[in-house]
Structure 1
Amino acid sequence: MRLNHLMTVSPAGGADKFPVDESLVTEDFYEAVNGKWAEQATIPSDHATTGGFRDLVDNIEKTLMHDFADLLAGKLEPANPEMAEFKKLYTLTSDADEREKVGTAPLKPVLAKIEALKDFADLNAHLVEWFKTDLPTPLDIGVDADMKNTSQYALYVDAPSLFLPDKTYYAKDNPAAKQLLPIFTQTAVKLLELAGYTEDKATTVVEQAKQFDAQIAPHVKSSEEAADYVKMYNPFPLADVDAKLDHIDLTAVVKGLINDTPAQVILPQPLFFDAANDILSPANFDLIKSWMLVKTVMGASGVLTEEFRQVGGAYSRALSGQKQARSREKAAFYLATGTFSQVVGDYYGRKYFGEKAKADVRQMVLKMANVYQQRLKTNDWLSAATREKAIVKLQKLTIKVGYPDKIDALFSKFKIDENKSLFDNLQAITEIIIDNHFSRWGHPVDRDRWEMSADTVNAYYSPSNNEIVFPAAILQAPFYSLKQSSSANYGGIGAVIAHEISHAFDNNGSQFDEFGNLNNWWTDADLDHFKGLAQAMIKEFDGIEFAGQKVNGKLTVSENIADGGGLSCALEAAKSEADVDLRAFFINWGNVWRMKATTEYMQLLLSIDVHAPAKLRANVQVKNLDDFYQTFGVKAGDGMYLAPADRVKIW
């Protein structure tokens, strides 16, 4: 239930190798910049995409796999105790023979626990244990910052997740579901068989699980609805929520998890709880058990035998159009590094980024924030009162660059027992993570914590912390390089930085104050004007044909507002430099969105992703900027032309 706006970026590599097609610049800017590359680009069989973003991830993967091979071989000494434990886990994830020998045996006692449940009274007796050991539960409970008082934690009670990617897939006329559900069914049945179930029993379990899942779907939010963060905040007295659940003792579960009974809880999806009594009913108990069994085998698919992993990944590969699973070696790498994420990030950040680069980029962020502040001061549609509060919010913005000063203390608790199975070790770590999560209750919110490791090619803004975070991995070419002109850097990292700043003032972030609290600081007139501008951004993207489907302007509006503000602000910064080259600025903006993807993956993103397709992020936003027309000579009648009255300018 994090509130972070994650900016999924797609940088490009080797831009000089593929020249701009001048004949296309005024018709399709993205194709002009990236078309030559796309002609020769092929999507690797174990990927759903290729392009700059994927290339940077793959390069980091190659670098770290090489380094950690030396770690396993004893050629590289662990830099700290946490890295020593990571080495032990990586040894276990890489030991294919041992994993085959152990087989599915560690999973069977977990499935037996679920099978042994008799009724809701029995489930209630075990539900606290279920949460603490990460077994599937028909409710989700978590601790996170209170959106109206972000210095303190609140308890969030939510609906469970669905099997299919979004509730829209459950519509009778959804063609994707007709293709995906049979693959999901085959995957789940085969996994249960590998875990010792007969084919008939496995088939019955999966059919029952799908029946329960289908009952949940009408009562949860779609991705479009969930993109409105403010509507997540629905406080209710705990007693009132508990009263809606005849067969789940919610109060007892909460007390067992946090050793307290809060007066209220937050329901991100209150409509589910209006229907929960009918869904979580004795008549459905066998269906719920089957749903738990399917969730359990699907969740364990990556940590047992190679056949279990290959079978378990079939559904996600169908979702994305990925033709083959990762190699066994890459799977072992990602399982180990994902578990010790901040430890790996600390190693990557210190070795490949360093304190000097950290300081340099921080100065660039501060410079972009100053440019943004000047733009706010000269804004022509905000009243003085709102403008003043916007500037205060900007000045209070926390900036995190590169990697944390120290590794999160949580990772020092991860101890690997080399005499136990990989499954059991990962289960022990999961329980430590869950215990740590619920132990936050009653303590002040830790604002020093990072939500991404330094080796992640991404960036984010957190409304609840009013902070922007730039992991080290994104701070390289083509985003940022001393070999690039200042204008090219502004078209890359400058636009990324300003994008994240803009999230503080998008349709979601604008409703949080300088402390990260949900608190309206706008005058009524300014807010109405802003909503009108946001509606114009929705209209600009809504219904654009892409990958055989259409863009959802409401789903993507916050990211589109941030893109527009980020690009506009970065442009102004580029123009302030003595060596300004707007052609280089715009071309690098086009470069960073370079991506080639499977049709399945593009269609999946159109359904669930708050970002517009990469090509449209490159093409649509530049149409809103007058300088683009002057730089490339775009005229009325050209494909890239947008009438001045239709150009959306917010920040």
Structure 2
Amino acid sequence: MFTSKIVGGAGDMVNAKPANEKDNLYLAVNGAWQEKAVIPADKPRTGGFMDLDEDVEKTLMKDFHEFANNEDTIKDDLLFQAVKLYRLANNVDHLDKFHQQPILKDIQRITDLKDINDLSDKLAELSADNFPLPIDVSIDADMKDTSTNVVYIEGADLILPDKSYYDDDNESGKSLLKKFSEVSVKLLSMIGYDLDKAQAIVKKALAFDKSLVPIVKSQEEWADYTKIYNPMDFKEYITKSNSLNLEKQVVDLIDETPEKVIIEEPRYLDNLNKLVNSENFENIKEWMLVTYLTDNASNLDEEFRQTIGEYSLALSGAKELKNRTKYAYHKAANIFSQVVGTYYGKKYFGQAAKDDVTNMVKKMISIYEQRINDNTWLGEDTKKKAIVKLETIKIKVGYPDKIDELYSKFEVEETSSLYDNVINFRRIRRQDELDSYHRPVDRAKWLMPGHMVNACYDPSRNDITFPAAILQAPFYSLKQSSSQNYGGIGAVIAHEISHAFDNNGAQFDEFGNMNNWWTDEDYAKFKDLTQKMINEFNGIPYNGGKVNGKLVVSENVADVGGLRCALEAAKTEKDENLREFFINWARVWRLKATKEFNELLLKTDVHSPGPLRANVMAQNMDEFYQEFNITPDDGMWLDPDKRVNIW
């Protein structure tokens, strides 16, 4: 187990003071900010990514406010629909008139279920309408043939974010379940149940939730992405339940009998008869009721939003909910995400910046290609195939050239309730997903909208996406030096490229198919290196907890590869300044978060905490020691044989 030598301890960085860069790079760069930074009352954290997100939020909220008051200035009908939804979601007096009424007809569909046979008969229609179910269906690309969509089989989700919250010694989990129970009882009372009945319903719902805990996957297990691919002959699958007609559910949903399905959680399917049977029916039914109500309460009126918000605040540690106007903006921006993202990208990013960043990505790919050619642990056959994959990566920058046709089906009815509008949009989206079973995989699809401050790699499409919103300072600016830009957006770009060669991405070929293109010898070496990365982070103390090296390994492999390649790119520039490079690298990872949110991240996030990303990855780079004159007596020193470099 590796424990950071950083002075003060890595865990102290949550509320620590400035430090010397030789002892703690993160605090040397961010310590003064860390002391003074104030987490917004309606957010659980602040820092690099979040600061940009807040700027985007302010910019678009201002635009939405102006559009809502002067709709004649809106030149795009899809954007007009988004503004109408914003206006509706912000119309508190209008929504108060509906109060609980819109959801009652759907609650009735659950309460009318008579027995396990009735649930079995209605599985498909409930699934099509997005009701929570003990077993469900989704459609996505076949990981072994990504030109084709297939049926995936999913289990139920826990109420809390991860099964570790249910551990006997986890006081946070106990507190959160208590709060969830209180809020659920209150919500049930608000839709007409008396107190005793409401408490009885919640007790049964929590009993079913508890039965799931030993069976569902942990977040650590989900992080091993390729393990969701477990093909099963459809004829075998439909025999797996003694109580549910699994065949009818799938066939009714996709209007076809498939040859196979993909089982995401084999352990769940093995235990399906134990979880779902006539004896458990009442618990399942009440779990469906409570889950549906809590999932949809915020779409009713402000009183319902405030009530379910009590649980959200307990989970995140934020002091207050977003105000109604901010909530309305986010509701519209989420449902019309690609529409709003494209508007943002065109207005605030533009084609010139899109071309500039695309060229930057191409340069990083060429640097990466050189790194693979110079690699000392890979054989020539594996190198050739890695370069083929690298050269095939599709680059998506800023915003899509064309908005998905799905959005043209979204018509906002402002005289209706917010709930009815949102449920209608979800049904349209769900039906589009189900219909995609009969269509080839859409490789032009964007996983992130232009106004999102993030970036991603999709192994099944072998593409990388850099939304417009992340392409600004401190990540990227023409006012920054090239070294600063490479320490920011350059490292982010190379990070996403590195995902093509992380512990998950390395198992997919240039077409996005899960296919072993490695020699056995090379893959064994790669596995050893990823284990070193697991060991390097596993057990580092942070915020009263410890980092789970297995949970964060894929992102750490991408981080170390990204930083290494960005460093090589920075060296090619005339204004090379590696001190500025490392300082900006540390700056973009500044983070201040509530105790509750830090705990949530440690248990569920596949990324290491920002301060550790800043420090430990720098410790892996030999150039860092040279640039800052780090010696074995300094807190940032890491012995050369413990430094991990993969790509």
Q: TM-score range by the shorter chain?
A: over 0.9
Q: Secondary structure at the match of 2:214?
A: helix
Please give the residue correspondences for 1:467-478 in structure 2 after superposition, counting only pairs within 5 Å.
Answer: 467-478=463-474
* Distance (whole Å) between structure 2 residues aligned to residue 67 and residue 418 of structure 1: 19
* Distance (whole Å) between structure 1 residues aligned to residue 319 and residue 242 of structure 2: 46
* Distance (whole Å) between structure 1 residues aligned to residue 174 and residue 123 of structure 2: 34
Aligned to 2:90: 94
Partner of residue 459 from structure 2, selected from 452, 456, 463: 463
* Distance (whole Å) between structure 1 residues aligned to residue 366 and residue 338 of structure 2: 31
Structure 2: runs of 5+ lacking an equivalent: 1-16
Letter in 1 for 2:293: V
* Distance (whole Å) between structure 2 residues aligned to residue 200 and residue 79 of structure 1: 54
Partner of residue 369 from structure 2, selected from 351, 358, 373: 373
Please give the residue correspondences for 1:47-66 in structure 2 after superposition, counting only pairs within 5 Å.
Answer: 47-66=43-62
Deviations 1:82-103 (A, max 9, x none): 1121222122111100111110
Q: Which moved more, 1:316-325 or 1:523-532?
A: 316-325
Deviation at 1:262? 0.6
Aligned to 2:68: 72
Quick check: 2:121–2:245 contact (8 Å CA) kept in 1? no
* Distance (whole Å) between structure 1 residues aligned to residue 552 and residue 122 of structure 2: 41
Please give the residue correspondences for 1:598-613 in structure 2 after superposition, counting only pairs within 5 Å.
Answer: 598-613=594-609
* Distance (whole Å) between structure 1 residues aligned to residue 110 and residue 256 of structure 2: 27
Partner of residue 645 from structure 1, selected from 633, 637, 641: 641
* Distance (whole Å) between structure 2 residues aligned to residue 439 and residue 108 of structure 1: 28
Letter in 2 for 1:255: V
Partner of residue 266 from structure 1, selected from 262, 267, 280: 262
Please give the residue correspondences for 1:625-644 in structure 2 after superposition, counting only pairs within 5 Å.
Answer: 625-644=621-640
Quick check: 2:539–2:548 contact (8 Å CA) kept in 1? yes
Residue 430 (structure 1) aligned with residue 426 (structure 2): yes
Deviation at 1:170? 2.0
Aligned to 1:315: 311
Quick check: 2:39–2:592 contact (8 Å CA) kept in 1? yes
Q: Which moved more, 1:316-325 or 1:347-356?
A: 316-325
Q: Which moved more, 1:489-498 or 1:306-315?
A: 306-315
Please give the residue correspondences for 1:91-490 in structure 2 after superposition, counting only pairs within 5 Å.
Answer: 91-490=87-486
Quick check: 1:401–1:471 contact (8 Å CA) kept in 2? yes
Letter in 1 for 2:331: L
Indicate how the Cα distance of structure 1 residues 75 and 285 shifts in structure 2: closer, same or farther if over 3 A, else same. Answer: closer
Letter in 2 for 1:410: L
Letter in 2 for 1:237: D
Deviation at 1:514? 0.5
* Distance (whole Å) between structure 2 residues aligned to residue 79 and residue 382 of structure 1: 54
Letter in 1 for 2:238: D
TM-score (normalizing by structure 1)? 0.96
Q: Which moved more, 1:515-524 or 1:164-173?
A: 164-173
Deviations 1:185-236 (A, max 9, x none): 1111111111111111111111100000111121111011111111111011
* Distance (whole Å) between structure 2 residues aligned to residue 457 and residue 418 of structure 1: 30
Letter in 1 for 2:337: S
Residue 563 (structure 1) aligned with residue 559 (structure 2): yes
* Distance (whole Å) between structure 1 residues aligned to residue 546 and residue 246 of structure 2: 41
RMSD: 1.1
Deviation at 1:76? 5.8
Letter in 2 for 1:575: K
Deviations 1:540-561 (A, max 9, x none): 0000000001000011000001
* Distance (whole Å) between structure 1 residues aligned to residue 226 and residue 106 of structure 2: 38
Letter in 2 for 1:612: S
Deviations 1:301-348 (A, max 9, x none): 211121110110222211111111111111111111111111101110
Deviations 1:215-265 (A, max 9, x none): 112111101111111111101112222211111111111111111111110
* Distance (whole Å) between structure 2 residues aligned to residue 579 and residue 182 of structure 1: 57
Q: Secondary structure at the match of 2:438?
A: coil
Deviations 1:377-402 (A, max 9, x none): 11011000000000000001110000
Q: Which moved more, 1:460-469 or 1:48-57?
A: 48-57
Quick check: 1:26–1:640 contact (8 Å CA) kept in 2? yes
Deviation at 1:618? 0.2
Aligned to 1:11: none
Aligned to 1:595: 591
* Distance (whole Å) between structure 2 residues aligned to residue 252 and residue 78 of structure 1: 46
* Distance (whole Å) between structure 1 residues aligned to residue 503 and residue 46 of structure 2: 31
Q: Which moved more, 1:347-356 or 1:314-323?
A: 314-323
Aligned-residue sequence identity (percent) comes to: 51
Please give the residue correspondences for 1:616-631 in structure 2 after superposition, counting only pairs within 5 Å.
Answer: 616-631=612-627
Quick check: 1:70–1:76 contact (8 Å CA) kept in 2? no
Count of residues in Structure 1 that have an aligned counterpart in Structure 2: 631
Letter in 1 for 2:101: A
Aligned to 2:506: 510
Q: Secondary structure at the match of 1:283?
A: coil
Q: Secondary structure at the match of 2:444?
A: coil
Letter in 1 for 2:96: E
Letter in 2 for 1:429: F
Q: Secondary structure at the match of 1:441?
A: helix
Q: Which moved more, 1:551-560 or 1:316-325?
A: 316-325
Letter in 2 for 1:417: E
Q: Secondary structure at the match of 1:416?
A: coil
Deviations 1:248-296 (A, max 9, x none): 1111111111111111100110100111111110001111110011011
Quick check: 1:67–1:76 contact (8 Å CA) kept in 2? no
Q: Secondary structure at the match of 1:201?
A: helix
* Distance (whole Å) between structure 1 residues aligned to residue 84 and residue 582 of structure 2: 47
* Distance (whole Å) between structure 1 residues aligned to residue 629 and residue 290 of structure 2: 58
Q: Which moved more, 1:335-344 or 1:495-504?
A: 335-344
Please give the residue correspondences for 1:581-592 in structure 2 after superposition, counting only pairs within 5 Å.
Answer: 581-592=577-588
Q: Which moved more, 1:70-79 or 1:579-588?
A: 70-79
Quick check: 1:507–1:534 contact (8 Å CA) kept in 2? yes
Quick check: 2:215–2:267 contact (8 Å CA) kept in 1? yes
Deviations 1:129-162 (A, max 9, x none): 1011111211121000000000101100011111
Q: Secondary structure at the match of 2:478?
A: coil
Quick check: 2:123–2:249 contact (8 Å CA) kept in 1? yes
* Distance (whole Å) between structure 1 residues aligned to residue 388 and residue 191 of structure 2: 58
Deviation at 1:75? 6.1
Deviation at 1:174? 2.1
Q: Secondary structure at the match of 1:400?
A: strand
Q: Secondary structure at the match of 2:279?
A: helix
TM-score (normalizing by structure 2)? 0.96
Aligned to 2:6: none
Q: Secondary structure at the match of 2:297?
A: coil
Quick check: 1:413–1:432 contact (8 Å CA) kept in 2? yes
* Distance (whole Å) between structure 2 residues aligned to residue 346 and residue 636 of structure 1: 50
